[in-house]
Amino acid sequence: MTPPQVTVQDGWLTHPQGELFTRCWQPALGGTTRAPFVLFHDSLGCVELWRDFPAALCAATGRAVIAYDRLGFGRSAAVTAPLPLTFIADEARTIMPLLQAHYGLKHFMAFGHSVGGGMAVECAAQWPEHCVGLVTEAAQAFVEDRTVQGIEAARVQFQAEAQVGRLAKYHGAKARWVVDAWTETWLSHGFADWSLARVVPQVACPWLIVHGALDEYGSRRHPELLQAGAGGPKRLAWLPGVGHVPHREVAAQVLAEVLDWSAGLAP
């Protein structure tokens, strides 16, 4: 449910491979010049699967919130080819300019969940003059044994068409591609050496690192790598008893962490 102090507007971005669906939550009173949050969803996600979190984030911080469906996900255009192994860095390089042009973004705050956290890190590194804040939530920083084991277990579960059918509510006929894009990419031999270790030192903006202690796809080694390597000011919000989706499991706590961290940031 959208809070009364928030308005919502949908839109589309033109990409060489097809249209991308976007949604923007704005403070209803308007007039804000504060840098908006740009959300990057997880491997099975889309705009709709953020549920009511973006509206709550907008209402709590007074900043606009922008989310979009990556190519092949949600309402965006279908993709038939496998993901390239460079897809995380590519997302920041190719999509952020479209968002900047469409929304007239001079500055933004990148907020990414899971693999979207890696994309947010890449945005902060690739667009240092524009990215004024970074939030990563349950972000993977490398391919850990726990990550592989969690995805292997999920691949077995998604052999059941009923499980894929649950995703079809959000991705339509693209649901099977969405699952395979996640599992087959992360479990491939070519992706095993992927890491954010070389990218993290390029992040100079303030950074909030959110991670649940019970995250089934990444141990504490992930936030520790991010925190140790970051070139700018950083804060770790370690959440005991929380799994891979903190913004759903403990939404109020995540919002409080983000609000406290971002309150003094400019613009």
pLDDT digits (tens, 9 = 90+) for 160-209: 999 999 999 999 999 999 999 999 999 999 999 999 999 999 999 999 99
Q: 0.85 cut: is pTM over it? A: yes
Confidence tier at 31 by pLDDT (50, 70, 90): low
Average pLDDT over residues 102-115: 97
pLDDT higher than threshold 90 for residue 33: no
Residue 148 inside a domain? The answer is no
Distance CA 44, CA 224 (A): 25
pLDDT higher than threshold 90 for residue 70: yes
Residue 225 inside a domain? The answer is yes
Q: What is the CATH number of the domain that holds 228?
A: 3.40.50.1820
Helical spans, DSSP H, in 22-129 = 53-61, 87-94, 96-103, 115-126
**Structural domains in the chain (count):** 1
* Residue 124 structural domain: 6-142+196-262
Q: Report long-range pairs for 166-174 (Cβ below 8 Å, ≥24 apart).
A: 167/44, 170/46, 170/48, 170/49, 170/74, 171/46, 171/73, 171/74, 173/78, 174/72, 174/73, 174/78, 174/79
Residue 63 inside a domain? The answer is yes
Residue 149 inside a domain? The answer is no
Residue range 236-264, pLDDT digits in tens: 999 999 999 999 999 999 999 999 999 98
Residue 169 inside a domain? The answer is no
Residue 112 inside a domain? The answer is yes
